[in-house]
Amino acid sequence: MKKCDYCAKEISYFEQYCSEECHGNANKYYETTEKYGKLFSIINMICFFGIPIGIFLFAFLRTAGMIITVASCDILGVMLILLPFPTENMISKYKLKKATKITRIIGLAVIGLGFMFLIFMLLFPIIFPD
C-alpha cells in the first residue's frame, strides 16, 4: 500500500494525502520552506562553522570562545525548533510529520549540547588551573 506523504497512513494508490488536513499541512510546510529556506541556510552555515571556531578560540581566548560556541549551539537549536526543515532523505524515509518531529528533537539536543559546552567551559579553569 502507498502511504500518505504527510502522516504515513496507508492510502490508495490514486491519492497523495489521506485527508484535506494532511494536504493543507503539507502545503503550509512547503510554503514556509520556500519563504524561509535561504534564511535557514545562512543561519545554519554561520552556526555550523561558529561551533568549531569557538572551540578553537577557547584555547586562546576562553571567554570569547565560550560565548561563540554556546551562542552558535543555542541559535542553531532554536532555529531547528522554530524552522524544522528536515532533509529530503528524512522526508522520504519517515514522511513529513515524523521528520519534522525528529528535526525538533535534534534542535533540543543541540541546545543541550550548548549548555554542556557552557558547563564544561565554566568548569575547565577549576579542573585545569593555570
pLDDT tens digits for 87-99? 999 999 999 999 9
Q: What is the pLDDT of residues 66-91, one digit of tens each?
A: 899 999 999 999 999 999 999 999 99
Domain ranges of the chain: 2-127
SS3 (DSSP) at 28 = helix
Q: Which residues does the chain have with pLDDT short of 50?
A: none
H/E stretch holding 2 reads strand 2-3
Question: Which residue, chain included where needed, has cell 576562553?
Answer: 62
The pTM score is 0.87
3-state secondary structure of 11: strand
Q: What is d(CA 2, CA 75) in angstroms, rounded to the nearest whole number?
A: 38
